[in-house]
Amino acid sequence: MTDDTPLISRADQVYAFLGRTPFAQEIGMRCEVMGDEMTAIMPFQDKLIGNIAIKALHGGAIGAFLELTAMAQVFLVAEHLTRPPRPINMTIDYLRQGHAKDTYARATITKMGRRMCSVQAEAWQDERSKPVTTLLAHFMVGGE
Protein backbone atom coordinates (compact mmCIF):
# COMPACT_ATOMS: atom_id res chain seq x y z
CA MET A 1 0.00 0.00 0.00
CA THR A 2 1.42 3.31 -1.05
CA ASP A 3 0.75 6.59 0.63
CA ASP A 4 -0.04 9.19 -2.01
CA THR A 5 -0.46 12.04 0.42
CA PRO A 6 2.31 14.54 -0.26
CA LEU A 7 4.37 15.75 2.67
CA ILE A 8 3.27 19.33 2.06
CA SER A 9 -0.43 19.86 1.42
CA ARG A 10 -1.51 21.66 -1.71
CA ALA A 11 -2.92 24.48 0.41
CA ASP A 12 0.51 24.95 1.99
CA GLN A 13 2.09 25.00 -1.45
CA VAL A 14 -0.30 27.79 -2.45
CA TYR A 15 0.57 29.74 0.73
CA ALA A 16 4.27 29.14 0.04
CA PHE A 17 3.90 30.35 -3.56
CA LEU A 18 2.32 33.61 -2.42
CA GLY A 19 4.84 33.96 0.39
CA ARG A 20 7.85 33.72 -1.87
CA THR A 21 6.49 35.72 -4.80
CA PRO A 22 7.75 39.28 -4.34
CA PHE A 23 4.91 40.85 -6.33
CA ALA A 24 2.21 39.06 -4.27
CA GLN A 25 3.91 40.46 -1.17
CA GLU A 26 4.09 43.88 -2.80
CA ILE A 27 0.30 44.07 -3.16
CA GLY A 28 -0.03 42.54 0.34
CA MET A 29 -2.08 39.57 -0.88
CA ARG A 30 -3.10 36.74 1.48
CA CYS A 31 -5.43 33.84 0.96
CA GLU A 32 -7.40 31.28 2.88
CA VAL A 33 -7.83 27.83 1.41
CA MET A 34 -10.87 25.74 2.30
CA GLY A 35 -10.54 22.40 0.51
CA ASP A 36 -10.66 23.12 -3.21
CA GLU A 37 -11.94 26.66 -2.62
CA MET A 38 -9.99 29.74 -1.78
CA THR A 39 -10.69 33.34 -0.85
CA ALA A 40 -8.00 35.92 -1.45
CA ILE A 41 -7.65 39.18 0.47
CA MET A 42 -5.85 42.36 -0.52
CA PRO A 43 -5.82 44.63 2.55
CA PHE A 44 -6.00 48.33 1.79
CA GLN A 45 -2.70 50.20 1.59
CA ASP A 46 -2.11 53.82 0.53
CA LYS A 47 0.29 52.75 -2.22
CA LEU A 48 -2.54 50.90 -4.04
CA ILE A 49 -4.30 54.19 -4.81
CA GLY A 50 -4.58 55.13 -8.48
CA ASN A 51 -6.45 58.40 -8.21
CA ILE A 52 -5.68 60.69 -5.30
CA ALA A 53 -8.59 63.03 -6.05
CA ILE A 54 -11.28 60.39 -5.61
CA LYS A 55 -9.15 58.02 -3.47
CA ALA A 56 -9.85 55.03 -5.68
CA LEU A 57 -7.73 51.88 -5.94
CA HIS A 58 -5.62 51.60 -9.09
CA GLY A 59 -7.20 49.34 -11.69
CA GLY A 60 -3.81 47.76 -12.27
CA ALA A 61 -3.56 46.78 -8.61
CA ILE A 62 -6.99 45.12 -8.62
CA GLY A 63 -6.20 43.49 -11.97
CA ALA A 64 -2.94 42.07 -10.62
CA PHE A 65 -4.75 40.83 -7.50
CA LEU A 66 -7.34 39.02 -9.64
CA GLU A 67 -4.65 37.57 -11.87
CA LEU A 68 -2.82 36.16 -8.83
CA THR A 69 -6.11 34.84 -7.39
CA ALA A 70 -6.93 33.02 -10.65
CA MET A 71 -3.37 31.68 -10.86
CA ALA A 72 -3.44 30.44 -7.25
CA GLN A 73 -6.84 28.77 -7.74
CA VAL A 74 -5.57 26.86 -10.79
CA PHE A 75 -2.42 25.86 -8.90
CA LEU A 76 -4.61 24.68 -6.00
CA VAL A 77 -6.71 22.25 -8.02
CA ALA A 78 -4.41 21.25 -10.92
CA GLU A 79 -2.37 18.84 -8.83
CA HIS A 80 -0.07 17.75 -11.66
CA LEU A 81 1.43 21.24 -11.81
CA THR A 82 4.74 21.61 -10.05
CA ARG A 83 4.66 25.38 -10.40
CA PRO A 84 1.98 28.04 -10.89
CA PRO A 85 0.48 28.13 -14.40
CA ARG A 86 1.58 30.58 -17.11
CA PRO A 87 -1.05 33.08 -18.25
CA ILE A 88 -2.10 33.17 -21.91
CA ASN A 89 -4.45 36.13 -21.82
CA MET A 90 -6.98 37.89 -19.64
CA THR A 91 -9.83 40.35 -19.90
CA ILE A 92 -10.47 42.65 -16.99
CA ASP A 93 -13.88 44.23 -16.63
CA TYR A 94 -13.90 47.31 -14.38
CA LEU A 95 -17.45 47.46 -13.06
CA ARG A 96 -17.25 49.81 -10.08
CA GLN A 97 -14.75 52.05 -8.44
CA GLY A 98 -12.52 50.29 -5.92
CA HIS A 99 -12.68 52.28 -2.69
CA ALA A 100 -9.93 52.76 -0.11
CA LYS A 101 -10.74 49.55 1.76
CA ASP A 102 -9.92 45.83 1.79
CA THR A 103 -10.69 43.86 -1.37
CA TYR A 104 -11.61 40.16 -1.57
CA ALA A 105 -11.55 37.80 -4.53
CA ARG A 106 -12.53 34.32 -5.58
CA ALA A 107 -11.88 32.40 -8.78
CA THR A 108 -13.85 29.60 -10.46
CA ILE A 109 -12.44 27.28 -13.07
CA THR A 110 -14.93 27.11 -15.94
CA LYS A 111 -13.07 24.50 -17.95
CA MET A 112 -9.98 22.51 -17.08
CA GLY A 113 -8.47 21.12 -20.24
CA ARG A 114 -5.36 19.04 -20.77
CA ARG A 115 -3.25 21.94 -22.02
CA MET A 116 -5.25 25.04 -21.17
CA CYS A 117 -7.86 26.14 -18.72
CA SER A 118 -10.41 28.92 -18.54
CA VAL A 119 -10.92 30.77 -15.26
CA GLN A 120 -13.27 33.49 -14.06
CA ALA A 121 -12.53 35.60 -11.01
CA GLU A 122 -14.26 38.44 -9.25
CA ALA A 123 -13.23 41.01 -6.69
CA TRP A 124 -15.58 42.70 -4.25
CA GLN A 125 -15.45 44.95 -1.21
CA ASP A 126 -18.61 45.41 0.86
CA GLU A 127 -21.02 43.09 -0.89
CA ARG A 128 -20.17 39.94 -2.76
CA SER A 129 -23.12 40.62 -5.06
CA LYS A 130 -21.62 43.94 -6.12
CA PRO A 131 -18.31 43.01 -7.76
CA VAL A 132 -15.81 45.81 -8.27
CA THR A 133 -13.89 44.06 -11.03
CA THR A 134 -14.17 40.72 -12.83
CA LEU A 135 -11.57 38.78 -14.77
CA LEU A 136 -11.69 36.11 -17.46
CA ALA A 137 -8.35 34.40 -18.00
CA HIS A 138 -6.73 31.47 -19.80
CA PHE A 139 -3.70 29.65 -18.43
CA MET A 140 -1.37 26.94 -19.74
CA VAL A 141 -1.68 23.81 -17.62
CA GLY A 142 0.04 21.42 -20.04
CA GLY A 143 3.32 19.59 -19.42
CA GLU A 144 6.16 21.63 -18.00
- The residues facing 94 across adjacent strands are 133
Which residue in the set 18, 31, 65, 122 belongs to the binding site for other proteins (CB under 8 A)? 65
Cβ proximity to other proteins: between 36 and 93 the closer is 93
Binding piece for other proteins, criterion CB under 8 A, among 5-13, 21-29, 109-117, 123-131: 21-29
The residue from 39, 63, 116, 118 that contacts other proteins (CB under 8 A) is: 63
Nearest alpha carbon to residue 72 among 35, 100, 104, 33:
33
Count of CB atoms situated within 10 Å of the CB of 69: 27
Report the nearest approach of other proteins to the CB of residue 35 (Å). 26
Residue 8 within binding range of other proteins, rule CB under 8 A: no
Coil, strand or helix at 102: coil
* Residue 43, phi then psi, degrees to nearest 5: -60, 150
Is residue 74 within the footprint of other proteins (CB under 8 A)?
no
The CA distances from residue 96 to 28, 75, 99, in Å, are: 21, 28, 9
Alpha helices for the chain (secondary structure H): 10-20, 22-26, 59-77
The amino acid that residue 8 corresponds to is I
Q: Applying CB under 8 A, which of residues 12, 26, 37, 79 lies at the interface with other proteins? A: 26
- Pick out residues in 81-110 that bind other proteins (CB under 8 A): 83-84, 86-94, 97
* Binding flag, residue 122, other proteins (CB under 8 A): no
- The site for other proteins (CB under 8 A) is made up of 20-23, 25-27, 46-55, 57-61, 63-65, 67-68, 83-84, 86-94, 97
